[in-house]
Structure 1
Amino acid sequence: MEREFEGRTASVLGGSSGIGLATARLLAERGANVAVVGHADDTLVVAKQFTDDGHPRSP
């Protein structure tokens, strides 16, 4: 996959679920540093599980 967002930073509002979470994942997979904002603590944990290279971290 291309890393067209390498070195860029993105803020994703509503990133704890749905389209926001999918967008955050895609941006991370494509090299962006992603700041996720959401109101649901339990689902924000899912977004936090991604490393800089966009792949899930082992628990």
Structure 2
Amino acid sequence: RSRETQLPTDDPRRPRLISIFGGKLTGYRATAQTVIRRITPSLPQRQKVADTAALPLSAE
């Protein structure tokens, strides 16, 4: 059983739908960054609001 995350899309060039299969819960941030990178060509241009790599995780 693989723990590799699979991200099939409806259209490889301009995806409108990305499904997430597999992976590990601890890899959610890397998976989210990959999804955003893949879906960005389908979205309108926006200014960057936050750099999630620099945001601390809450310990609450």
- Relative to the length of structure 2, the TM-score reads 0.34
By relative contact order (CA 8 Å, sep 6+), the higher-ranking structure is 1
- Relative to the length of structure 1, the TM-score reads 0.35
Judging by fraction of residues, say which structure has more strand: 1
Computing the radius of gyration from Cα coordinates, the structure with the larger value is: 2
